[in-house]
Structure 1
């Protein structure tokens, strides 16, 4: 009580208004845009904070219900208008993700706004149905871009456009662009380190020259890709939708341009069911993949002669492997399946007779069916890996009796490493 005996009303501290601006910005950037705008009612200090957000994401979360989507053009136009008129300061990253909408709204004017705000990171995931959105001329004036992701767009720049000189990351998925233009675009991105190409519909070869490229992901027709100059390329992921070999040199050409590859991933599930005769798969490549440390084979049918031989060729050609991961496929189309013959299985140990995997430490094989080819591969890797620490084997769905029979057989295999632990995972 004060000396005069009268109570004093103490106002509670305004916690929200006393938060540091850096903390406010961090909170706002972690919220969906819809919720970030709603914070303007918290206090006077928060009223316009969202207007200076350096990162904006416009996605389908902006609409409450499916009913809101029916009036998309009107709603979206209002949102874009509010951002254009109220936002202050640079927008370093902008994401527009509306792939499931029926049509693409008019966003041409927004690219002019982004180009004037020195946007460095741009992600466009546009509707998949109907005609693809043609990027306006103002898009090609966003010369500060360092990261660019485009989905479902038509890329046709004006004649004066030479490229994005500051770009270090480029991801194109379902983008309509000619092979010549794509090759020119990449060659003018002298700082490019990361490249993703998915579902290109151009049937002409693409020549890629990128002296600083370190990571490359391809989902499409692998025979159309010519890696001309990529001396630093160390991470490669191939998901070929068409893959056929006519001669042994065809397989060698795929890997001869990436001598620095350290991590290789090959996805089998989307490729052509008839890749070619087994005779075109050599015992090993004409050169060693000496830099390859991690090999990941996904959805490979180890009981099919061509795919199994492909896997053996890569393993035999990679003497310095540190990690192997194989996601086997338990079944395949029998009309195109050529089983691994018995004599080929019996010859596997001899084909590894001059090899020792002195750096191999971990091996993981999923969906093992217990076929003779699979078991022989497991046996060889255990016998030829003196530094092996852990091998994880997960059988595919099968009855317990067969599963335990596979385990009993594996436990009898000779191990070159006294520290090797074999983990047999059963659901």
Structure 2
């Protein structure tokens, strides 16, 4: 019986490198860990985790990934990965989400340096997230932490391990509730602190900011409940504050302050106000009390009646003596509020409070409204070293009677603009040459700023004829 020889295996054709006598080059594996981490950081976390199957090296690369970023949809099934509910991402299985995070943390070979979470179910898993933040904050390597609670109704209470993390240099919180303990062991190394729509009392805000003694950048956006904010930060360089409701902001001993931005957006209570803006929203309430809590327009009106808006502004400006750049964005509704103030704006700040370091001033406001014009005048009279000025009309401005140059001559000490002001730019919402031209302040500056090199007037909409471009030149004659 004849035996058949087994068929020989077909040999693979040699690669071009083998034919040339050179080994094949694995360029990806040749990269160092830092470069691979930078690549994985650009991938969704679930895709970055899948790289652990590539070779023996890759599990270690993923296990030492310094930055983890999580959203609701991070661990969704592929078929629901890009589905949305009411325009937002959602988690199709919260249990799978938490199990996945547990698995990733169990396999870690190095502390997490940067952790960002942006989800809407932290309150539902409060104990689990407490343990998560405790583990991360105690790891000894956490530098950056961002907690974004996207739940539109409930604020997430910041867990105590966050306050006691000694290694944090950057902390960002969104829609969270602050209850800062009286004694803290952490936050001393924080250099960037961002608080967006947080719920906090005056004492909580003051305690937290003072604890971040090395903070260089502070952002406070639409804070809830707090009315008075005291900022003591000797290393503070950049300050940004946005608010839809009156705040009394006192800045103390900020000798390194360089850049300041303040935006006040009044008149949209139904859109911006929340039940958390009440002084006391904890505990049980009657139906009438609950109805009052949701009467946002009435709340806003009462608050404006009880607030001394001019005193608030003077207090705020009084702590900015070292700032080099100042931007005030005061929308049209602010003009109405300021005109109802019971006190009057001083012509200049007290000598010890003057803005002697200010070099660039940007004003987004209706400077032709007489109440606002007194604020503009106070700024000029208190800032003798301004070099660069920008004045921007709000987009929803409605011009009334423009203020003439004679008004500004009475309000502003000409010496304050004579020797340093060199650049002026006006951004107008409508043409100045339709009806009565709004050239009072530009005319005053042209006549008094001796070192002025450039004045520019720009329009959002303009049908002006070329002949109007030379109008300012005639002012000098």
TM-score (norm 1): 0.81
Q: Distance in 2 between matches of 1:378 and 1:170?
A: 39
CA contact (8 A) 2:367 2:373 kept: yes
CA 1:352 to 1:137, structure 2 compared with 1: closer, same or farther past 3 Å?
closer
* Pairing 1:253–2:315 present: yes
CA 1:232 to 1:8, structure 2 compared with 1: closer, same or farther past 3 Å?
closer
CA 1:39 to 1:383, structure 2 compared with 1: closer, same or farther past 3 Å?
farther
* Pairing 1:409–2:471 present: yes
Which residues of 2 match residues 254-403 of structure 1 at below 5 A? 254-269=316-331, 272=334, 273-277=336-340, 280-287=344-351, 288-298=354-364, 300-332=365-397, 339-340=401-402, 345-349=405-409, 351-369=412-430, 370=432, 374-398=438-462, 400=463, 402=464
CA contact (8 A) 2:417 2:445 kept: no
* Pairing 1:33–2:54 present: no
SS at match of 2:338: coil
CA contact (8 A) 1:103 1:129 kept: no
Task: Count residues with an aligned counterpart.
Answer: 399
Which residues of 2 match residues 8-407 of structure 1 at below 5 A? 10=18, 12-59=24-71, 62=74, 64-66=81-83, 69-98=90-119, 101=120, 106=125, 107-118=129-140, 119-158=142-181, 160-161=183-184, 163-220=186-243, 221=245, 223-241=247-265, 251-269=313-331, 272=334, 273-277=336-340, 280-287=344-351, 288-298=354-364, 300-332=365-397, 339-340=401-402, 345-349=405-409, 351-369=412-430, 370=432, 374-398=438-462, 400=463, 402=464, 404=466, 406-407=468-469
CA contact (8 A) 2:37 2:65 kept: yes
SS at match of 2:337: coil
The alpha-carbon deviation at position 250 of structure 1 amounts to 5.9
| CA deviation vs aligned residue, 1:275-299 (integer Å, no higher than 9, x gap) | 235882344334342210111112x
Q: Distance in 2 between matches of 1:405 and 1:61?
A: 59
| CA deviation vs aligned residue, 1:21-48 (integer Å, no higher than 9, x gap) | 3322232234443443343344443344
Q: Distance in 1 between matches of 2:438 and 2:380?
A: 14
CA 1:30 to 1:270, structure 2 compared with 1: closer, same or farther past 3 Å?
farther
| CA deviation vs aligned residue, 1:248-287 (integer Å, no higher than 9, x gap) | 7665433222221211111112864322358823443343
SS at match of 1:16: coil
| Rg comparison, structure with higher value | 2
SS at match of 1:211: coil
The alpha-carbon deviation at position 102 of structure 1 amounts to 7.1
| CA deviation vs aligned residue, 1:332-371 (integer Å, no higher than 9, x gap) | 47xxx874455xx423246454344433343232225317
Q: Distance in 2 between matches of 1:158 and 1:178?
A: 12
CA contact (8 A) 1:322 1:359 kept: yes
SS at match of 2:131: helix
CA 1:408 to 1:159, structure 2 compared with 1: closer, same or farther past 3 Å?
closer
CA contact (8 A) 2:63 2:107 kept: yes
SS at match of 2:213: coil
CA 1:410 to 1:61, structure 2 compared with 1: closer, same or farther past 3 Å?
farther
Q: Between 234-243 and 75-84, report the one with greater CA deviation.
A: 234-243
CA 1:240 to 1:75, structure 2 compared with 1: closer, same or farther past 3 Å?
same
| CA deviation vs aligned residue, 1:171-224 (integer Å, no higher than 9, x gap) | 111112221122122222222222222222224433332222222222235542
The alpha-carbon deviation at position 114 of structure 1 amounts to 1.0
SS at match of 2:239: strand
| Counterpart residue number, 2:282 | none
SS at match of 1:365: strand
Q: Distance in 1 between matches of 2:46 and 2:370?
A: 54
CA contact (8 A) 2:130 2:159 kept: yes
CA 1:56 to 1:102, structure 2 compared with 1: closer, same or farther past 3 Å?
closer
Q: Distance in 2 between matches of 1:181 and 1:275?
A: 29
The alpha-carbon deviation at position 16 of structure 1 amounts to 2.0
